[in-house]
Amino acid sequence: TTLNRRPSRCPLALGPKAAPHLHGAGDFVAAVILAELLAGRGPAAAAARAVAAAAALAAEAEALGREDLPVVAAAARWRAAEGRARPL
């Protein structure tokens, strides 16, 4: 997963590749980025946290055979996902 929103087209964060069509993924990533920015983290750190959390949640969705993100059911897993992606 690459989060790429810099004008230079350089990625903000890199993480494991996820399934291409997971319902709610964009909303989830946006919510985590916003929460991290409001907590005082910089854009790259916020993006890395969002990518790590989304990757953990995508893996859980795949394991459960779901096409949506199990945000509540897998809260412990995605909240603990810090450090699995890296800011650039």
Find how far residue 66's CA is from the centre of its chain: 17
What is the distance between the alpha carbons of residues 65 and 22, in angstroms, rounded to a whole number?
A: 11
Inter-CA distances, 78 with 31, 48, 59, 70, Å: 13, 13, 10, 10
pLDDT one-digit tens code per residue, 18-77: 666 778 888 888 999 999 899 998 888 888 888 888 888 888 888 888 888 888 877 777
pTM above 0.85, yes or no: no
pLDDT one-digit tens code per residue, 6-30: 455 555 565 666 666 778 888 888 9
